[in-house]
Chain A
């Protein structure tokens, strides 16, 4: 029994310093992992600066004070000053002392960050808002981790904040966390564990020295990191091994761009990409309900996308143009309604339910919106209606007046081929267009004369039998993306969903010289059968419900003199407009479409599957009923289940380890004396699990008395017997008597401990009970 004595003065600052260093390292590595979801690295420096300022001040303060809380207060202060200096130096005094203006600025940054998180597609641009949020979060995490490791003395739990940072890219980016970042974080975590162990030992030794006590005692912390090391090693190994197998890390369950809303479901239709997760919803949850007097179910449009940069296609950031309040909306329509052509007027009443987006869902050609709450503006370019404040489309209940020109194929074909007067960006193409794409586009449009015929040829190509609709089949890594490489992949696979079709047609239209953009919104939903009379003796309004899986994207092509015209290249989804109802290819698999046949339809736009006098313009595929099981992708479901099992196993690991430990301690394969000691050990652990710990100077008997005090007579007797047997085994004179039925003795001991555990549970709160069962403290901190 040796007492470790240090001659020099005990300095908590020096003892805790390595832990702080490794916490900063691990968090810096974890934060670097965020580069998968934030563009470029310009955001990293401020984040790193704030992190280092926080940890350095926290660790440094420990050199001057033994107080527990002052270092944290100092660290928080440092974080605040660093954030001010980095993000609000303009409004701050001397560049770093926050003023009321700085607070307002922080508030604004937070709003900006939340806006980014809600509406932007990963990787997001490193704006000040998101950088500020990241820096503040990482800084606070540094303090929390420090507290977890050094004060709560549960170094293992420091994995929580680290994982919380790592999970963001893991869930949101299809490329997941970079291997280097992950390895760095894991290394930092292991170093934290090691350093924490060292520090705590030094502190314990100091404590013992101060108390002039000896080494360790009954129930004293014994540094039993055994299970902790096993657990952490298992966790690291599992994390290293699992990513290839867990769908969430690459594709499938957590596809790129999807994110969980406050209620755990994908919230909002983040243009284009979160659409994927909506599409994959197998349920029929109604998102939006509407009544309309239009002849068919209307499409609902959120916004359009016109910039195809190549890497990813982003919604147009046209906030600068959103100057017009919706009260000044004019019926710009899809281009000005031509005098030669009539237009279809309709009124639609829309209940958005819990659909959340900064854009308002309106039918195409909406000229006016009534009854919408909040401040909304409209974009004269594409007639998108967007919130001008922080309002969302959720729980809106409004009327939309829309007017859609009534085009026919002949009318479109007869348009004069004049100079195109739309901006060049609608013709801009990605830097590199894969040859397959340009060749196909050229081949398809070779024989067409008018732009409209070219467009029709493109649409018909996608409706060919070679193409099939699938939301999962080609969902390989990154296929959820919309980049040019995906486009090529799509043309090879000939299988995909609306985004692939819409963007492919848009790009190929540009290749053919037709300005194009992609609209995002919802395809017509299903008629609910409800009918009501419009207000003021208006027309009969038919009820429809639109579900999340109706989320849709479609191309809009610009024809000089007609404006933006909708096409529907996606097989089995949406409704092909009457003017674009081209011929069904006669020979399946033909690469070159047959000559576009002029449509004779005069159906109003958009035509829906409603009983009208016009021919039903749906394709056969669209009419095909879809069975409930068809939407399920079995392999993905299998992976999901496997992932679920793994998560459950991980969650149950502490409980299982604890159970193994119990079985070992109460094993009948030992002498009676060893069993008695094992039983005492187990009793101590059972109590520790419920937060009752034996003090180092507490004798078994006094601990037993304390433990038994709140218990009933049975628990009392059980504790007394366990203590008595332990004392006999530990302090009594050795007896040579044979072990009397160790099986029975083990069972008795187990029964007693179970009785004590139950009685302790009865007196404990639900949190304590759950912790004792699922996260037993005795497993992580012994003694």
Chain B
């Protein structure tokens, strides 16, 4: 049996926060991020949601729109350890996870943690690395731990990977296959800023980056409490059913060859819980599920080739499904009232 190593997580206070404190902390993080990145409030909110839902974020867009900047800003706003891996074709798995080295002074093997041992790991241009290295990172993401030489090293908590991927076809790149993208809770396409935001950006960034002046607004302990607050968000049966129905609808849709996996639906639910908490609610609404569906599901769905040729993409299909998927079948029915009455 591998021995669990590391983890400064002792008996600290991880009780859910009162809703006021949670909202204040969340707002502080968002303000900090929005102070650095102009005109990307929604993107920032999604990133924070993923962080609180303990997922990982895939930032996908053309170079130069601020993917890395967003990742760095978020990491800086949260007072946690940050590391950055610039993926290259010659990067090895051990460059990510860390390596056991022989210490001549002590005569023992010592584990040298790799960059993955941080609260926030920025994986730049993940599609440039070889498939082997990619899977090393993906494994860490899934397991929240690293096993080297038969020893298991727990990653820090919270742990979040912000990977960026450049969709422009380039030689020597290994784009993440759809199956691997499944590991990321959400994908964000940054998109270009609008005109005003771009003007502001040019003004703010002409000499120095505002990132340098950014002070962390929450610490990791606080972040863990925020995460535990998200955990405590209630999910009712009708909402769970709605999530399941949504997943089944993607699998049964004729224009989708690969629908959402059960893991994807788990991600949807977790993201919806984070969204509900960020909205100040103590329970998930169908609206939250629908609200996260696009960013959580669209990068996982494989659109039928013919539909794709007709210009259909996963986002549009998902939108249609949501427009038709019945919400809460028992709403307003006698059975619902009985259920509510009987308790």
- Could you tell me which A residues sit within 8 Å of B by CB distance? 1, 211-220, 222, 670-671, 673-674, 676-678, 680-681, 684, 696-702, 727-734
Contacts and interface: CB of A to CB of B under 8 A. Distances in A.
Contact of B328 (A212, A218, A671, A674): A218
A222 B333 CA distance: 9
A697 B337 contact: no
Given A214-B245, A674-B340, A732-B283, A696 B234 contact: no
Contact of A671 (B238, B290, B343): B343
Given A213-B325, A697-B327, A700-B327, 8 more contacts: A214-B245, A218-B332, A671-B341, A673-B340, A700-B328, A701-B287, A729-B340, A730-B331
Contact of B285 (A1, A215, A670, A731): A731
Contact of B283 (A678, A680, A684, A731): A731
B325 A731 contact: no
Contact of A702 (B249, B283, B287): B287
Interface string B316-343: 0000011111111101110011101101
A696 B336 contact: no
B266 to A, nearest CB: 19
Top 5 closest pairs, chain A to chain B, by CB: A217-B326, A733-B234, A673-B340, A681-B332, A674-B341
B16 to A, nearest CB: 12
B260 to A, nearest CB: 14
Contacts of B248: 214
A677 B328 CA distance: 12
A387 to B, nearest CB: 64
Contacts of A684: 332
B336 A677 contact: yes
Nearest to B336: A677
Nearest to A685: B332
Q: A1, A217, A732: which has the most chain B beta carbons within 10 Å?
A: A217
Contacts of B337: 670, 674, 677-678
A628 B185 CA distance: 90
Contacts of A681: 332
16 contacts: A216-B326, A217-B328, A218-B328, A220-B329, A677-B332, A700-B327, A702-B287, A727-B285, A728-B283, A729-B340, A730-B331, A731-B234, A731-B239, A731-B284, A731-B286, A733-B283
A236 B285 CA distance: 45
B343 A730 contact: no
A734 B283 CA distance: 10
Contact of B331 (A214, A218, A673, A732): A218
Contacts of B219: none
Given A697-B322, A701-B285, A730 B336 contact: yes
Interface string B144-183: 0000000000000000000000000000000000000000
B321 A730 contact: no
Interface of B: 234, 236, 238-239, 241, 245, 248-249, 252-254, 282-287, 290, 321-329, 331-333, 336-338, 340-341, 343
A220 B341 CA distance: 23
B241 A731 contact: no
A217 B336 contact: no
B167 to A, nearest CB: 29
Given A677-B340, A733-B234, A696 B327 contact: yes
Contacts of A671: 340-341, 343
Nearest to A220: B326
A214 B242 CA distance: 10
B329 A1 contact: yes
A1 B234 contact: no
B324 A213 contact: yes
Among B282, B290, B331, B343, residue most surrounded by chain A Cβ atoms (within 10 Å): B331
Contacts of B249: 212-214
Nearest to A700: B331
A1 B286 CA distance: 18
B285 A697 contact: no
B340 A731 contact: no
A45 B16 CA distance: 82
B332 A733 contact: no
B184 to A, nearest CB: 26
B325 A218 contact: no
Most A CB within 10 A of own CB, among B253, B325, B327, B332? B332
Contacts of B285: 699, 701, 727, 731
A348 B316 CA distance: 87
Nearest to B327: A218
B250 to A, nearest CB: 9
A2 to B, nearest CB: 11
Contact of B252 (A212, A220, A670, A729): A212
A678 B338 CA distance: 11
Nearest to A211: B324
A214 B252 CA distance: 11
A674 B335 CA distance: 10
Given A212-B252, A214-B249, A671-B343, A732 B326 contact: no
A699 B327 contact: yes
Nearest to B236: A731
A706 B287 CA distance: 14
Contacts of A701: 285, 287
A699 B291 CA distance: 11
B242 to A, nearest CB: 9
Given A212-B252, A212-B253, A699-B285, A730 B328 contact: yes
Contacts of A680: 331-332
B287 A730 contact: no
Contacts of B343: 671, 673, 734
Contacts of A698: 327
B329 A218 contact: yes
Nearest to A681: B332
A311 B254 CA distance: 74
B324 A699 contact: no
B324 to A, nearest CB: 4
A732 B332 contact: no
A618 B185 CA distance: 108
B268 to A, nearest CB: 15
Nearest to B331: A218
B329 A697 contact: no
A676 B339 CA distance: 12
B320 to A, nearest CB: 9
Given A699-B290, A701-B287, A730-B336, A219 B322 contact: no
A219 B324 contact: no
A594 B274 CA distance: 112
A30 B61 CA distance: 71
Contacts of B286: 218, 699-700, 731
A214 B321 contact: no
A731 to B, nearest CB: 4
A673 B341 CA distance: 7
Contacts of A676: 340
A218 B341 CA distance: 19
A733 B282 contact: yes
Nearest to B343: A734
A214 B327 contact: no
Given A213-B249, A701-B285, A696 B326 contact: yes
A696 B253 CA distance: 18
A732 B323 contact: no
Contacts of A211: 324
Contacts of A727: 283, 285
A701 B288 CA distance: 10
B255 to A, nearest CB: 10
A779 to B, nearest CB: 15
Contacts of B234: 731-733
B340 A730 contact: yes
Contacts of B328: 217-218, 699-700, 730
Contacts of A733: 234, 236, 282-283
Contact of B287 (A214, A219, A678, A699): A699
A13 to B, nearest CB: 25
Nearest to A733: B234
A678 B332 CA distance: 7
